[in-house]
């Protein structure tokens, strides 16, 4: 019996999950991209996987209207968004090509969009100060646990560069205070690999303070960051809601992943080399990590430029 495209995609996902052992984050990316393609190109079938149809898909993507914020309407997407959908779908199309369901991957005939990584995705120190003030002073949290937990979350983002899913998935035994290390489990990461991130003394003190406050509760969750209302962990939606409140109170517009960019930029500024940063961030390859080198503000390199003189040339 001939399989339809949805059945083939489900087979692709099963292979990705169980045979290749890809992370759930990666698989969700495949699923969301295929779902959007199916919505914008109804009755999608194998014979419609052509360059012409993919161009129509991206046209619909650019022209569709989306609700953002409180009733705002936005049209169009960034080149980086197009590149992301292209990358996710291309994995599936290559899978179909190798198994001879299609003759060619249609993206072979479509030039990839030019993606610039020069936008300032990191948060400046003055804005960090405003966010910290909002956590510790401006917002009247319901109890001390909320204040100390939320401060610990912001500090962990800033000093460890974790992804959102990695942060909410931290367990109590992932925090090693004796070694001053944070263990990031591979199953919670996009790459599927375990890694260890060192904590500095400031983060050590903040996490210890939060943990002492947590011990006063009856929450038995094995996860490190807990809910203040349920006997369970703090969720991704919970973190997003907290960050929305920090946006409103601090006047700084940011999202959770910008903390990761901020961490990376500050590591580079402190002299970390690109291979060290790759290991800390948990990137599969150096190419992704090198994006941060291109985003580095030129003013932080002025001091080094002044050291280039006739006297110290090699």
Specify the pLDDT at position 38: 96
Q: What is the pLDDT of residue 303?
A: 64
Q: Which helix (H) or strand (E) holds 75?
A: strand 72-75
What number of CA atoms fall less than 13 Å from residue 282's CA on the CB side? 23
Residues 97, 98, 99: CA angle, nearest 5 degrees? 90
> Does the pLDDT of residue 33 top 60, yes or no?
yes
Over the stretch 252-282, which tens digit does the pLDDT of each residue have?
A: 999 999 999 999 989 888 888 888 888 898 8
| Residue 188, CB-side half-sphere exposure with 13 Å CA sphere | 18
pLDDT of residue 300: 62
Which pLDDT score, from 0 to 100, does residue 83 have? 92
Per-residue model confidence (pLDDT) at position 193:
86
What is the tens place of the pLDDT at every residue in 278-305? 889 888 878 777 777 666 666 666 666 6
Exposure class string for 46-71: b at 16+ Cβ within 10 A, else e: eeebeeeebeebbeebeeeeeeeeee
Domains of the chain: 5-109 (1.10.150.130), 125-300 (1.10.443.10)
- The structure tokens 């969009």 sit at 113
Q: What percent of the chain has pLDDT over 90?
A: 69
> pTM (2 decimals)?
0.73
Nearest to 205 by CA among 263, 264, 156: 156
* Phi (first) and psi of residue 201, to 5 degrees: -65, -35
pLDDT at 116: 66
Please provide the size of the chain in residues. 314
Q: What value does the mean pLDDT take over residues 69-81?
A: 78
Rounded to 5 degrees, φ, ψ at 25 are -65, -45
Tell me what pLDDT residue 3 has. Answer: 86
Contact indicator for 295, 265 with CB cutoff of 8 Å: yes
What is the mean pLDDT of the segment spanning 152-157? 98
Give backbone dihedrals phi and psi of 264, rounded to 5 degrees, phi first.
-65, -45
The mean-pLDDT minimum among 15-19, 69-73, 85-89, 150-154 falls in 69-73
Q: Cα–chain-centroid distance for residue 198?
A: 19
Q: CA dihedral in degrees (178, 136, 236, 253; nearest 10)?
A: -130
Q: Using one digit for the tens of pLDDT, what is the confidence trace for 82-98?
A: 999 999 999 999 999 99
User: What are the pLDDT digits (tens) for 168-214?
Assistant: 999 999 999 999 999 999 888 888 889 999 999 999 999 999 999 99
Q: How far apart are the C-alpha atoms of 279 and 206, rounded to whole Å?
A: 24
231 pLDDT band, cuts 50/70/90, is: very high
């Amino acid at each position: 019996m001939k399989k339809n495209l949805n059945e083939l995609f489900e087979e692709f996902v099963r292979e990705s999950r169980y045979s290749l052992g890809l992370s759930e984050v990666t698989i969700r990316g495949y699923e969301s991209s295929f779902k959007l393609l199916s919505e914008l190109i109804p009755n999608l079938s194998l014979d419609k996987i052509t360059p012409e149809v993919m161009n129509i898909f991206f046209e619909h993507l650019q022209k569709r209207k989306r609700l953002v914020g409180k009733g705002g309407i936005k049209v169009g997407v960034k080149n980086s968004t197009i590149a992301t959908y292209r990358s996710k779908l291309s994995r599936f199309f290559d899978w179909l090509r190798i198994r001879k369901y299609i003759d060619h991957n249609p993206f072979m005939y479509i030039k990839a969009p030019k993606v610039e990584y020069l936008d300032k995705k990191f948060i400046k120190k003055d804005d960090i100060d405003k966010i910290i003030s909002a956590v510790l002073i401006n917002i009247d949290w319901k109890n001390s646990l909320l204040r100390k937990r939320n401060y610990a979350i912001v500090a962990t983002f800033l000093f460890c560069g974790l992804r959102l899913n990695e942060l909410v998935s931290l367990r109590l035994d992932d925090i090693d205070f004796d070694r001053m290390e944070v263990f990031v489990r591979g199953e919670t990461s996009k790459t599927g690999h375990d890694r260890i991130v060192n904590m500095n003394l400031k983060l050590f003190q903040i996490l210890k303070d939060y943990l002492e406050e947590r011990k006063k509760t009856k929450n038995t969750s094995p996860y490190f960051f807990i809910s203040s209302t349920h006997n369970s962990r703090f969720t991704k939606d919970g973190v997003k809601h907290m960050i929305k409140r920090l946006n409103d109170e601090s006047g700084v517009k940011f999202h959770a992943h910008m903390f990761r960019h901020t961490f990376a930029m500050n590591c580079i500024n402190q002299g970390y080399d690109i291979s060290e940063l790759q290991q800390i961030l948990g990137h599969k390859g150096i190419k992704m990590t090198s994006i941060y080198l291109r985003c580095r503000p030129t003013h932080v390199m002025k001091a080094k430029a002044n050291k280039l003189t006739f006297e110290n040339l090699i």
